[in-house]
Structure 1
Amino acid sequence: MTACSLLSYIAIAWMKMVPMQTIRSRVQFFKISALSLVFCVSVVFGNISLRFLPVSFNQAVGATTPFFTAIFAYLMTLKREAWLTYLTLVPVVAGVIIASGGEPSFHLFGFIMCISATAARALKSVLQGILLSSEGDYKLVVRISR
């Protein structure tokens, strides 16, 4: 992340590849901070889970990201998907549950970290859609006031 930040700064400030942008308001700073925090949590939890679980199992659990995305989208924006969408998620989630029961190197803490990382990735996607859209301020305010 440090290398990415440094190289991005060089590309923007010195090489003038794209114009420099500044944070214009506290609201914009809050949006960036919230997305950064959720992203950081997803990376940290994902790395912790890799200490306890094999990569293949980690990837299998990651297949539930659309399930968590649909849940968070509904909870945060009250946006419902088509019933067929939810129906197609059932075999994926069921497969992960079956795989969890049959995983020889299953570790509960690693599994909790892996599920948490997957949920955090989904939450980041939903937050990104809400916070970075032009009407994101309105959606967020309406949802908080309820």
Structure 2
Amino acid sequence: MNSTPSFALSSLLVASGGAAGAWLRYLTGRAWLLAGPAASTAFPWATLTANVLGSLAMGLLVGLLARHGQGGEGWRLLLGVGVLGGYTTFSSFALEFALFVERGALGLAALYVGLSLVAGFAALFAGLWLTRWLATGTLA
């Protein structure tokens, strides 16, 4: 994969990588079930594991692609966008935060983290509220 792939090939790389990443995420959750139901439900260990392992893998991937220079777009699409995107989007979030920090844009880094957390949580609660409202017709 030494040149920029076509849109069709890019789409195939992202989709196939995404399927593999989603399956790996499922396996991570299943692995935590082996520790017993109490361990897997008392704390979101599987999500934490996916976020940490995905972030480590993203760092390794970006480091390798940067070290080897040009020609890594297909690998970035397959592994970074596809596999790691299907496994956890937290790895992309961590990379984008790190890029702000490395550029010395600490204010933007903090803004990005803050907005991501506040807006993400607010959107989740809005979705829950909207679903309940549509189901019951009340604002409870």
TM-score, normalised relative to structure 1 = 0.32
TM-score, normalised relative to structure 2 = 0.33
